[in-house]
């Protein structure tokens, strides 16, 4: 079945460091891909998404490109801030919306000043 | 974006009692709502999908008699954990969609059974 494999954490970075969180997927057809962020004690917030190959999702300085050839959707940010500390989830959906989603295990990011 | 509200955000109950969690779409009509469960430091696992006016579809391994889901209106779905036990302690999250847009997530409910 469809699945998402995400880089295990935790990841600890200093402020202004470059961030990469790897995500690869297995799916039949053409899934939509998502990154969600979960701050402590809160639910999930959509960070960015891409619905077809070569699409780049971006938001708040974060970017991820849908790479069909490598079945990847790696999350990147050029300069992280302390406020970016959270858990990041990669996910896929079979449809163009995010019904019937499959989530990765999550990667905890801690950014130190 | 659209707002989905869950209530309560935290609940502590005694073993053997039942707990109801509400999921409301505040500014749109949700034809479909999803219920997820998240164990500490783990990912979200889909428990069930509910469509307004029909019975919920449960994922394999989820006991439908223990986790009762009702989606009686286009803005409200409820999850009732019946005869709760400590192993049911978890973070429960709902999401809601019109079916034509992405789904939006609630803020989650942390259930602790003592």
Q: Mapping DSSP to helix (H, G, I), strand (E, B) and coil, where does residue B88 land?
A: helix
Is A85 in contact with A73 (CB distance < 8 Å)? no
SS3 A18: coil
pLDDT in tens, B25-41: 998 998 899 999 988 77
Contact A75, A90 (CB under 8 A): yes
* A69 contacts: CB under 8 Å, gap ≥ 6: none
Which one has a higher pLDDT value, B28 or B2? B28
Mode of pairing for the β-strands spanning B90-97 and B76-81 = unpaired
| Residues of chain A with C-beta less than 8 angstroms from the C-beta of B44 | 44, 89, 103
| pLDDT given for residue B25 in this prediction | 92
Among the listed residues A55, A71, A61, the one whose alpha carbon sits nearest the alpha carbon of residue A18: A61
Identify which of B42, B46, B93 has the shortest CB distance to residue A44: B93
Q: Dihedral, CA atoms, B50, B110, A107, A105, nearest 10 degrees?
A: -40
Tell me whether the omega of the peptide bond preceding residue B101 falls within 30 degrees of 0, making it cis: no
- For B84-98, what is each residue's pLDDT tens digit? 999 999 999 999 988
> What is the C-alpha to C-alpha distance for residues A110 and A15, in angstroms, rounded to an integer?
10
Question: How many Å lie between the alpha carbon of B38 and the closest alpha carbon of chain A?
Answer: 10
């Amino acid at each position: 079945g469809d699945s998402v494999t995400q880089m295990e954490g935790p990841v600890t970075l200093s402020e202004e460091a470059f961030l990469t969180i790897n995500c690869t997927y297995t799916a039949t057809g053409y899934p939509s891909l998502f990154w969600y962020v979960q701050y402590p004690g809160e639910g999930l917030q959509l960070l960015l998404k891409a619905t077809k190959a070569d699409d780049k999702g971006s938001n708040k300085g974060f970017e991820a490109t849908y790479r069909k050839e490598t079945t990847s959707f790696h999350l990147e940010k050029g300069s992280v801030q302390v406020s970016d500390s959270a858990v990041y989830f990669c996910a896929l959906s079979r449809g163009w919306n995010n019904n019937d989603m499959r989530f990765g295990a999550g990667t905890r990011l801690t950014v130190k000043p | 974006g659209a707002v989905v509200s869950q209530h309560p955000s935290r609940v502590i109950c005694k073993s053997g009692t039942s707990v109801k969690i509400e999921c409301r779409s505040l500014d749109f009509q949700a034809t479909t709502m999803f219920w997820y469960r998240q164990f500490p430091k783990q990912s979200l696992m889909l428990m069930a999908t509910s469509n307004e006016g029909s019975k919920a579809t449960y994922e394999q391994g989820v006991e439908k008699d223990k986790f009762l889901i009702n989606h009686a209106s286009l803005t409200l779905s409820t999850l009732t954990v019946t005869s709760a036990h400590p192993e049911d302690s978890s973070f429960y999250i709902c999401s809601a969609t019109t079916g034509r847009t992405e789904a939006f997530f609630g803020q989650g409910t942390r259930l602790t059974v003592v």
